[in-house]
Structure 1
Amino acid sequence: MKSAWLMGVSVWAISGGLAAAQSTVALPKDNTAIAEIVVTAQKRAENLQDVPVSVTALTADTLSARGVNNVLALNNIAPGMRISANDAAANPKIYIRGVGLSDFNPNASSGVGVYVDGVYIGSPLAQMAGFYDLAQVEVLRGPQGTLYGRNTNGGAINVTTKRPSQSFSADASVEYASFNAKTVEAAVGGPIVADKLAFRAAGQWVKDDGYTYNRVTGHDVNAADHWAGRLSLLYTPADNFEMLTQVSRYVNRGDAIAPQHRALFPSTAAATGPNGLCAPSAYASGACADLLGYADTDNNSRALDANLEGKDKVDLFGASNQATWTFNGMQLVSVTAWQWAHRNDLENTDGSPAQMLEINYRSRQRQFTQELRLQSDNPSGLLNWVLGGYFMDETVQDNTRQDTLRDLRPLFVTPDNPTGLSLENSVAVFGWPYTQKTKGYAIFGQADYELTDKLTGTVGLRWSADDKHMNYRSQVEDGLFVLLTSDQKKTFSAFSGRLGLRYAVSDDTNLYATYNRGYKSGGFFGGLATTPEEVEPYDNETLDAYEVGLKSEFLDRRVRLNVSGFYYDYKNQQVFAQALRNGLTVLVLDNAANSKVYGGEAEITARPIQPLTLTAGISLLHAKFGEYFSEGQDYSGNRLPQSPKVTFNTSAAWVAPLANGASIVANIDANYSSKVYFDNSNAERLSQDAVWIAGAQVSWRSPDQKIEAGAFARNLFDKSYVVSISNIDSLGEDLLSMNRPRSLGVFLRYHY
């Protein structure tokens, strides 16, 4: 390691902005102590400061103050976490400490697991939904292979919704903002049978007019339009038993992503860069064009030319049942869940007015999961333990169609070829229908034992196996020609585990050192393939993580400081990369590299005086490929995609009481990300330079805390930057997904 071990900042966790202020409002007026935060990172309720894991816990009020209504809005709120997307309503690209995956195919699995109320959301089609009526979001950094299982070698996002209670409550929120954006959320709950059965019903509706102007049609595009609902029932017939049953639905009918177009083929020597593609200075000059001669030359990132305005239609359904029996100092927990996801996304993939590349993504996924845990129920005992088993049955069906170079068909029309099909020139509709079936199994256990009054040891082990069956075909013109067929089965199994020590220096300070092994299951590529080699199964990737950390509170709990340093040995890394096949740019997934990742984080929360809460978090990251060659290119030593060297976030919240008992609440927040590469090549054109983003919110709260009204600004200084880039060199273009512009709005919230 060349660079110094970095300190890790994991404190934002707990309070953050408005949340911190609200969580401490009930304290005595002379009490400036920071409120305790309870997390379930280890499958049981614990004080965040006692958990030997890097965890950031975001309360519902923090999320509300930041305008978080989907997983993308969590980007950079926790140190070391980056989230982006090239799609409107599916397939978020989630990275923690440089570990993740950019594969957007529906059978792919990220290296960061997403869990909602204990249920694993395995499908990337379903990970953008469900962010409403939340109690808390926990971001667990580092491998979570013991208690959470496969596909969590980067970490996990643990979402908890608000539970039913025996007290009647109602919540409502209305928000109006720029681009005619409307967000309405409501929830109501209370007893059905006193002390036995309670309910909570919650819903969300989001709609706006879009923030990008289409010069071809005169319409605004990139518009949002989705709704969601959730019904929860909590059954408590006895003191030692409870059952939480939930049913949820999500429907998206918003626009498909409409990216910015950047032409790459130069027409003059002066416009040619050293790599033979367009020089950066000539991107909007008119001296560069794509394969069909189009170029966007106005340098306006909020306008484009698109012949097709598609919709990203996503339908989700979920049902779950979590039952907990408590007996003889133990708990038996059963979590059963059923989910399905349907997607039909028609997009103008080339981002131009020509019919050069248009893709219709059509996918279906269904999943049944069952987890059974037997665990101790004695937090103050010498030994805390959990034993469990897990089963998953998943089917993914995909029938995506890619219409390539349709505008060139007239050149190939003959009496014998009236459609103008030219397979040798990639002028065709390509499809790759497949069905992948997976049955997953796991058994696991973890124990924490107090070796002394101050020293606690942890040991955990998990064995997992996935039986996968992939039936795949790639074809042309809906089966007129079949390019490839494949029917393969393979079992991918692995051990993951955890070893750790936690030393209580004092009641307010803990030191910990851990070793964790995580893994991401191998599988089969789910994109367009034309050769047998492309559909050969790829292997598991593994990550051995070593971490040391400090969790502390001092100055009478006015300051909370959490730091950590880590080192990862990342092997058989699954890499999503570009390749050229028969003159067409395609994407492939393979075990292509090993990497060394190290760095650190730190989070701090401070409450110097009662009305003011300050938070900050920083991540310093070294994440580079080891030896890595792809398609004849040497990428050894390049930075991992989506892995900025430095990220930083900060916020301040001020609660000013008024004479009549009401209060004024002011929040400001900012975050920073250093330069990010979007591609393994680390090409400068496929990167985004460092960027700062700021936001603010001010509100008035009634004396009884039931009503809050205010105004907000998100992306306060209207920064314009790239969140993701898809490069299609063979067609002479890059497709740039841009951030949302500045949003100014007002809101009204009610709580009873």
Structure 2
Amino acid sequence: MQNRLLSGATIAVMAFASLAPSVGAQEQESSQDDRRLNIVTITAQRVEQNLQVVPISVTAIDGDALDERQIDSFDQLQYIAPGLSFNAGLNARQSASTIRGIGTSLFNIGIEGSVAIAVDGVVLGREGAGILDFSDVERVEVLRGPQGTLFGKNASAGVISIVTKQPTDEFAAEFDASYGSFNETSVSAAISGPITDGVKGRLSGYNNTRDGYITNINPAAPQSDVNERNEFGVRGKLKFDSSDTFDLTLGADYSKRDQSAGALTLRSVSSPGPGTGLLGFGVQVIGPVSASVGIKPGPDNKQIASNGTFESEMESYGVYAEANKQFGDFDLVSLTSIREWKSFDNNDADLIPLPFLAVNNADLDQNQFSQEFRLVSPRDQALTYTVGAYYFHQEIDQTNTQSGTAGLNLLGALPPGLLLGTDLISTVEETNMALFGQAEYALTDKLTAIGGLRVLNSDISASLSRSITPGAVGPFAGQSITASPLTGDTDDTAVVWRLGLQYFINDDVNVFTTVSRGYKSAGIVSGLTINATQVGGTALPMVEPEVPVQIEAGIRAVSMDGRLVTNFTAFRSEIEDFQAQALVPGPSGTSIFSVTNAGSVETYGLEGDITLLPVDGFTLSTSFAYTHATFQDFPDAPCYALQTVGPNGCIDTNADGRGEFQNLNGKDLAQSPEWIINALARYDFALTQNLDAFVQVGAQYRGDAISSNTNDPNTVLDAYMLVDAQLGVKFWDGRGALSIFGRNLTDETFVEAIVGQAFDTGGYSQFQSFESEQSFGVKLSLDY
């Protein structure tokens, strides 16, 4: 079939690989005289296109490049994709990405993140369901900026599109195994090929394990090491080519994680003073107890002394069917999917051997159904277009329990032996429907006009009930029970659009400019500490839709007879009613994850990719993202713990000396470093007549950023640079490779997040990822 459609993101994309030899910068097998970069085709617009001619900024990284940089999971993607940050949080429910400074890490099932995740074209209802292993992945595309015109569902900050490998026409088999520091073991395998006439299939699987890198020094603890890794998964596909004008792909996948994870470590403890310490009563507990067991809080601290368990269990599975039918020169595509995501987690947030929070768990079940139809016009006409319809429905059920003493027994407010506890039952149901289309019209042989439109309706409802945990004497500190369920409902219709022009200076150089309006649905605020909007009422708080408007301009160029590719994109976005979450002081000295709308946010910057083939066998590449992301209108932002009261701090409107809000106009957004720079050097050479060898060195620099949207100066994340390297040999006619690798070679110490420490007002804890550890390993790869 001509113009065969493949699953992928549904929007216009300009993609170029930021790291050779990734998607956009692969060296062709040729002599030195005609050696040039091969600009690889992607399917981000649901049609095969040269990524040098699609006018949007994207980093596209193929599966081989992911393997060669030891990037094998979603949470590591930020280390090679400029402009992307990932906050792992305590669990998959809270984990979230930011692109160009826009994104929200949420403890809230009623609000979704600003970055959409798609697997083989299927949009996932919550980002946590997409924290997958990258085994058997064809490529990953990180699409920056609002992408709502052709892309199903919310994507106000961008899209991360994961495209898995398809069945092959010929028999093929793949096997990868590696072993490294902390007993890190990864094994994956795949088999693919024809089954019978007109039918071919692919089956793959993986298993990853690693010891924990955070030590629990409490001898009575149920786990001695935490933040481990333990996961496996399988994926299968069948493709039926029944005729030259019709094919059908059926796919199914299952993945599971069951690991002791989600542990923070103490970064600092509170100093004595009014409002500090245990629940803000001026009594220091976390500091003295942690010191008594030998813990030294600080940026390098990798020890805890918890008496509770750390659990992170997750299951994700689903099926999909993609049918492609050709009617003359037109293609009709149907993509149907059913998915389910289950997550259970528990963590001991006080990090010391006291039952402040003896139980702190959540059990979530999310299921979704989606259906999309697309009609794609012929690609060889002056006017080309894609039109379609989209339907999505999901239901989310979550139960939470928090129980313990909350330290009130030490304050004489709770008799010894008694516990407080709250059980939460919350639900969310959402239906999203849309009609969409995008067209490109060649005004001349060099100038093309671009226009896109999406009309959508989003209907969301939620409910929440809280009760006292059986055996407890009252609700947990700072929480209350509900006499009747709290509910909320929002139904809104929106229009998303995109306009642009693209001019081809010649076959190798083009420039473009676009303006886009994105959209993220309104949300309903839910959680253990969330109360009705009015005393005695039953209405849950809500946040308004998040609406970005972005202007982009870029240039795409190939020069030096195809041996140099340079791509640059400048952008500016203004986001109205940005949905911001912050950990803020709550009642009874507790902390609350609050969600509110900021009036407006501005982000602007420049992104670039440069890849050069200077001499035979040698590849140099670099990519960068400069992003300046600030609040423009947020005069009533929440304060942070112990913030100074005054006109330039936490503003006190009722003269009680405590302060109610602060003005964040002009302040930085969280998790948004100004500079992210990647670089890679790789040299391939002949070692012997039968053996080839390679050596590569990669580096990434991330500038400093702030971890909290309250702009708490104690949550500044320092800049750092990571260096990795790999040395290997290829054998068996290039189908086998044996390599040794090293990560974080300079042993750089860094953290991904800093938050206020539970039960210690004025103290802070931190999340350290495995990438903050120096590690080494060996890897074997075989392809047949």
Is 1:45 aligned to residue 75 of structure 2?
A: no
**Between 631-640 and 316-325, the greater mean CA deviation after superposition:** 631-640
Contact 2:24/2:51 (CA < 8 Å) preserved in 1? no
**Match of 1:743, as an amino acid?**
S
Q: More displaced, 349-358 or 394-403?
A: 349-358
Q: Report the Cα distance in structure 2 between the residues aligned to 1:606 and 1:29, rounded to whole angstroms.
A: 14
The correspondence of residues 111-510 of structure 1 with structure 2, limited to 5 A, is: 111-194=114-197, 196-217=198-219, 219-267=224-272, 289-290=285-286, 293-295=289-291, 296-297=295-296, 299=298, 300-357=300-357, 358-376=359-377, 378-406=378-406, 408-409=408-409, 420-421=418-419, 428-477=420-469, 482-483=481-482, 485-510=485-510
2:112 to 109, 112, 117: 109
Closer/same/farther in 2, CA of residues 187 and 161 from structure 1, 3 Å limit: same
**In structure 2, the residue corresponding to 1:125 is in which secondary structure?**
helix
Q: Determine the C-alpha separation between the residues in 2 that align with 1:721 and 1:308.
A: 26
Task: Output aligned runs, 1:563-574, within 5 Å.
Answer: 563-574=568-579
State the 1:251 CA deviation.
0.9
C-alpha change, 1:298 and 1:265, in structure 2 (3 Å) is closer
The answer to whether the 8 Å contact 1:318/1:337 transfers is: yes
Give per-residue Cα distances to partners, 1:378-417, cap 9 Å, x unaligned: 3222121011111111000010112243554587699xx8
| 2:719 maps to 1:719 | no
Distance in 1 between the 2:14 and 2:591 partners?
43
State the structure with bigger RCO (CA 8 A, min sep 6), 1 or 2.
1
1:12, 1:617 within 8 Å by CA — same for their partners in 2? no
Structure 2 CA distance for aligned equivalents of residues 20 and 236 of structure 1: 27
Aligned residue pairs: how many?
719
| Structure 1: stretches of 5+ with no match in the other structure | 1-9, 279-286, 422-427
**Does structure 1 conserve the Cα–Cα contact (< 8 Å) formed by 2:25 and 2:611?**
no
Q: Tell me by how many angstroms 1:725 deviates.
A: 2.1
**Equivalence map 1:528-677=2 (5 Å):** 528-533=528-533, 535-583=540-588, 584-628=590-634, 629-631=636-638, 632-677=661-706
Instruction: Give CA deviations for 1:216-260 in whole Å, capped at 9, x if unaligned.
Output: 138222110010110111111111111111110011111121110
Amino acid at match of 2:212: G
Partner of residue 655, structure 2: none
CA distance in 1, matches of 2:452, 2:255: 36
Alignment-mate amino acid for residue 686 of structure 1? T
Q: Tell me if structure 2 keeps the 8 A contact 1:236–1:242.
A: yes
Q: Which residue does the alignment assign to 1:30?
A: 33
Equivalent position SS for 1:685: helix
Instruction: Give the deviation of 1:686 after TM superposition.
Output: 0.5
| TM-score after normalising by structure 2 | 0.88
Task: Report the TM-score when normalising by structure 1.
Answer: 0.91
The answer on 1:83 being equivalent to 2:75 is no
| SS of 1:75 mapped into structure 2 | helix
| SS of equivalent to 1:13 | coil
Aligned partners of 1:324 and 1:332 also within 8 Å: yes
Match of 1:6 in 2: none
Cα offset, 1:325, TM superposition:
0.7
Q: Could you tell me how far 1:530 is from its partner in structure 2?
A: 4.3
**2-side partners of 1:213 and 1:17: how far apart?**
37
CA offset at residue 477 of structure 1? 2.1
In structure 2, distance between residues paired with 1:558 and 1:306: 56
CA offsets per residue over residues 465-510 of structure 1, 9 Å max, x none? 1111112123332597723631232213211110011000010001
AA matched with 1:72: D
**What is the CA–CA distance in structure 2 between the aligned matches of 1:92 and 1:697, rounded to whole Å?**
30
Q: Distance in 2 between matches of 1:528 and 1:576?
A: 15
Paired-residue identity, %: 28
Shift of 1:535: 2.5
Residue 83 to residue 574, structure 1, CA distance change in 2 (3 Å) = same
SS of the residue 2:130 aligns to: coil
The whole-number CA distance in structure 1 between the counterparts of 2:514 and 2:616 is: 36
CA distance in 1, matches of 2:17, 2:461: 43
Residue 688 (1) aligns with residue 717 (2): yes
- CA apart distance, 1:344: 1.3
Query: Is the 8 Å Cα contact of residues 261 and 352 (structure 1) preserved in structure 2?
Result: no
Distance of 1:494 and 1:130 partners within structure 2: 34
The CA deviation at 1:51 is 0.4
Point out the more displaced range, 731-740 or 501-510: 731-740
Which amino acid counterpart does residue 641 of structure 1 have in structure 2? A
Counterpart CA distance in 2 for 1:315 and 1:403 is 26
How far did 1:18 drift? 4.2
**Which secondary structure does the structure 1 equivalent of 2:37 belong to?**
coil
